[in-house]
Amino acid sequence: MLLIMSIYILYLESCIPYPASCILYPNPLSLQRKKSEIMKVLVTGGAGYIGSVLVRQLLNKGYQVRAIDSLKFGGDALYDVMLHPNFEFMKGDIRNAADVDKALEGIDAVAHLAAIVGDPACKKFSEEANETNWDGAVLLFNKAEAAGVKRFVFSSTCSNYGKMADPDSFVVETSELNPVSLYAELKVKFEKYLLEDKKDSPMCSTALRFSTVYGFSPRIRFDLTVNEFTRNAAVHGEQEIWGQQFWRPYCHVDDLARAVVLVLESPEEKVRANVFNVGTTEENYNKGMVIKEVCKVVPGVKVIYVDSSEDPRDYRVNFDKIKNELGFTITKKVPDGVKEIYTLLKTGIVTDSFAQKFRNI
């Protein structure tokens, strides 16, 4: 895992305007630029797939960051930031009131990512999903509000749209929500709590409906469509595609994390009690299109297509709102993510990409 972190630092050097070593020792110019406006941000789920990327982006911009995580999947993803002078880690659970109180001390903004993530995980651990994704989220919000936290950003999902009524259309933020899994149901439920029940809260709250994520992260996962297809193609030389016709929007983990930072830095009047799809309209793919991108990078892949109409999720998403209102644009596309994962696997540094630690169930 430490070797993976070394690769991540090299990777970051190609993505940020100053050396990746500033992850441990912040760029003084960055700190000076934000000195009068630095906020202390709590990242829940900070050791997770998206959270560990967000932590680094915030530190790189000069924020003070506290991460809370139950370490359900370990804490390896944060090893290299533990000595950062602006970072602190707290092992805790958002379902525990005492943990939440401690985590919120001195905090200006919350980026709430902690959750049981994905349809399969929520189905398998349904009780824990309800306790974390609903009870814990409400507890966190209410205590943050009482503590005087200024901003609250919630990581929701485009899975809330479920299945499009018109297969040729694109859903937008005002489209009807049609959750078809416990995961999406709980996201929709908490969105409603934020944007309707608590819309007049003194704390400025925003929901971000994330596209399906992919790409390299310090807490690498191989159970996500783009990463999984690339892994299977690289390791086994083949991939089964069940229901190639089903659509999803995709967005790189770096860009999803960037959207959280953007919301934290946007004027309150633009984001208060608001919701944004996060991604770009051009990055809607069906599964057949994803595997074609994989085959352009990984040679000699055998693709086995299996007819299926079992997946009730099928949606294409329009992302004009976040682009037009906040100026959000992506920096990477699906082919970039495929190349990242393939490059990682070719090094041989991941000895068993099918290990439990690389997936959520």
Residue 330 has phi, psi (to 5 degrees) of -85, 160
Q: Which domains does the chain possess?
A: 2-214+250-282+315-332 (3.40.50.720)
Q: Residue written as tokens 């709102």?
A: 321
Dihedral Cα 351, 354, 360, 361, nearest 10 deg: -140
Q: What amino acid occupies position 326? A: L
User: What mean pLDDT value characterizes the chain?
Assistant: 90
pLDDT bin (cut points 50, 70, 90) of residue 140 is: very high
Query: Which pair of tokens denotes residue 262?
Result: 């953007």
Residue 184: its pLDDT value, please? 96
List pLDDT tens digits, range 315-339: 999 999 999 999 999 999 999 999 9
Question: Does residue 266 carry a pLDDT above 50?
Answer: yes
Share of the chain above pLDDT 90, in %: 84
The mean per-residue pLDDT over the stretch 41-63 comes to 98
- Mean pLDDT computed over 96-107: 98
pTM of structure: 0.90
Q: What's the confidence (pLDDT) of residue 317?
A: 97
State yes or no: pLDDT of 13 exceeds 80: no
